[in-house]
Structure 1
Amino acid sequence: MLERHEAEVFLALAEELHFGRTGERLGITTGRVSQTVKKLERMVGAPLFERTSRRVLLTPIGRQLAEDLAPHVVGMDEAVRRAVDAGRGITGDLRVGFLSSVAGQLLLKAVALFGERYPACEVHIHETQGHDAVVRLRRGDVDVLITDVLIAAQPDVVAGPVLLAEPRLLAVATGNPLAGHVAVSLEELAGHPMILVPADMPDAFSEDRNPAHTPSGLPIPRGPRAASFTETLTLVAAGRGVFPVGENVARLYPRPDIAYVPFIDAPPIRWGTMWLRSNTTHRVREFVRAAGDAGRAT
């Protein structure tokens, strides 16, 4: 008979495909992960993973088992959470995270409204970074996150309604010829190096902020890579390149050496709530509802 902890280890390894990361995620040793997998393979009578010194892959049998098993484990979690929520109401602790000053402002409005509705639930606020936002959701450091929707574009993460869609601006040095323009087009990016986001940012975010080509196919030059958003603005001010930002950046980061020029043809930057699919609790759902209501009220 398959035990719950064995299923959790198997499914975590099926997602991570790395024994060390699986152990860190579950708070157990790598040896314990390996022992659990070997036990399951003896039970099944066939290998579930292909292991080499360089990689771990699911076998066809392992992939099928993961697909069949995952909904049942998630269903068990949700059933227990619904029972707990029904018995306790909205109480206990809720850990909410935010990424960037814009998300922080959205979060504070949501926390205030949620606190009015559910004063018995204590909300803990945490700042996250782009490279670890989803990791902290998976690790349980935060229950729900407000961020750029592209940061958390992952299969195991649920995206709530968009709370804010802000127009996109191009940050340029005041000495850049574009600084005097009333507006710019995406096609004009072909003539200016683009400051690159940190290498550990999610692919969807990197592709959005650092497009390789203009809509017509012209290549966009690569500028230096920044380690943080503050460094990005400093590189822009130094004339090392340009960078697309949201409208609120002009208000939150005014600088005499940077001009923020509106785009005429770029999509908005969208902010919203994100949470782990397996952590869809009543508390999380009510916080997401409060965030949406707070956003509509402003």
Structure 2
Amino acid sequence: MAPGDEGINARSRYDRLAELKEAGAVLERHEVEAFLALAEELHFGRTAERVGITTGRVSQTIKKLERMIGAPLFERTSRQVHLTPIGRQLADDLTPLVAGMNDAVRRAIDAGRGITGDLRVGFLSGVAGQLLLKSIALFAKRHHDCEVHIHETQGHDAVTRLRSGDIDVLITDVLIAAQPDVLAGPVLLSEPRLLAVAAGHPLAGRQAVSMEELAVHPVILVPADMPEAFRTDRNPTVTPSGAPVPRGPRAASFTETLTLVAFGRGVFPVGDSVARLYPRPDVVYLPFTDAPPVQWGPMWLKTNTTHRVREFVQAAYDACHLDQ
């Protein structure tokens, strides 16, 4: 066969199948399987056993194909079954196409179920990074053949990077990824909520504060491009009793938020880990007596729920909750 003939032959096979489709001659998968099995076995009984149907059903399927084609595909005698020239041509045309489909499905299954290849995981904030490192350590111990790539994300682009495929799993504040197309895994960390205030703030000497205190102290606003659920949580418009919460200046980053707090421009609710990861002499962290906790966990796209992702989420949960 001359170079390039394979491509020409492949195109001609696709062209013939396209002509059949245009003529209304669409083959069902079970019909193709029965035909190709009989083309190899040349025996109705063995074909029926191979494809898991009755001999009569094989005969009916072949007759249907022959009516569709308009010519015999097999020559049958009391002792032997042979392909006709048209049957041989059809078998030659269909075999590589079916093999290609099977290979494509097999590759998809391997990609979905196999714990090999690459996994791209992201984190948002210092505490998420710590949770991620614990998760990766256990995942790598369980799945040596999967290479994990770590990516730091920002609040405004975290979900966008999930949707673009830049990352497969994201560990973050659960409210960051509260989107219809995003799945949330188990909570890896639930931490008490604190209020960050300036060291010279009137509240700084208190042992604890209530959410009602927000009615008299402006709250620093998070960046406008943060997800709505996160903005609503960190910048409530009213206290639990319904009192309006005054708005402070808007910050462009978390570091800027703490700097504005230190300057006395407002207060800001944070998780307990912030006091450990961002200690500042000019900021005091006070526990709330009545605020819900801040929760962290893994997130991923619904359409990217692969076996690899599920195994990583399981490893993350085990690493953060179970004794190793």
* TM-score, structure 2 as length reference: 0.66
- Structure 1 position 141 matched with structure 2 position 166: yes
Aligned-partner residue type, residue 103 of structure 1: A
Q: Which runs of 5+ in 2 are unaligned?
A: 1-103
1:212 aligned onto 2:237: yes
> Is 1:259–2:248 an aligned residue pair?
no
Structure 1 position 232, deviation (Å): 0.2
Offset at residue 84 of structure 1 (A): 3.3
Rounded to whole Å, the distance in 1 between the matches of 2:161 and 2:201 is 39
Per-residue CA distance 1:172-220 (angstroms, 9 max, x = gap): 0011111110000000111101000000001100000000011111111
Instruction: Give the structure 1 partner of residue 269 of structure 2.
Output: 244
Check whether the contact 1:164–1:272 (CA below 8 A) recurs between aligned residues: yes
Q: Give the aligned partner of residue 175 of structure 2.
A: 150
Q: Displacement of 1:82 after TM fit?
A: 3.6
Question: Among the aligned pairs, what percent are the same residue?
Answer: 75
Match for 2:255 among 209, 230, 238?
Answer: 230
User: Hey, what's the Cα distance between the residues in 2 that align with 1:78 and 1:158?
Assistant: 25
Q: Report if aligned partners of 1:151, 1:202 keep a CA contact under 8 Å in 2.
A: yes
Residues of 2 paired with 1:78 and 1:114: CA distance?
27
Please list the CA deviations of residues 97-120 of structure 1 after superposition, one character each: whole Å capped at 9, or x if unmatched. 000001000000000100000111
Please tell me whether the aligned partners of residues 171 and 258 of structure 1 are also in contact (alpha carbons under 8 angstroms).
yes
Partner of 1:285: 310
Matched pairs, number: 220
Match of 1:297 in 2: 322
Q: Cα offset for 1:83? A: 4.3
Which structure 2 residues correspond to residues 81-96 of structure 1 after superposition, within 5 A? Answer: 81-86=108-113, 89-96=114-121
- SS across alignment from 2:320: helix
The aligned residue for residue 144 of structure 2 is: 119
The Cα of 1:96 is off from its aligned counterpart by: 0.1
Selected match of 2:196 from 140, 156, 171: 171
Task: Pick closer, same or farther for the CA change 1:287–1:249 going to 2, 3 Å.
Answer: same
Indicate conservation of the 8 Å contact 1:95/1:143, yes or no.
yes
Secondary structure of the residue aligned to 1:94 is strand
Correspondent of 1:200 among 208, 212, 225: 225
Shift of 1:79: 9.2
Indicate if the aligned counterparts of 1:81 and 1:281 stay in contact, CA closer than 8 A. Answer: no
Q: Do structure 1's residue 161 and structure 2's residue 186 form an aligned pair?
A: yes
Deviations 1:43-92 (A, max 9, x none): xxxxxxxxxxxxxxxxxxxxxxxxxxxxxxxxxx9997444344xx3110
CA distance in 2, matches of 1:167, 1:100: 16
| Residue 204 to residue 85, structure 1, CA distance change in 2 (3 Å) | closer
AA matched with 1:107: L
The one-letter code sitting in structure 1 at the alignment partner of 2:207 is V
Is residue 182 of structure 1 aligned with residue 181 of structure 2? no
**Hey, what's the Cα distance between the residues in 2 that align with 1:217 and 1:258?**
28
TM-score by length of 1: 0.72
Unaligned runs of 5+ in 1: 1-76
Letter in 2 for 1:84: A
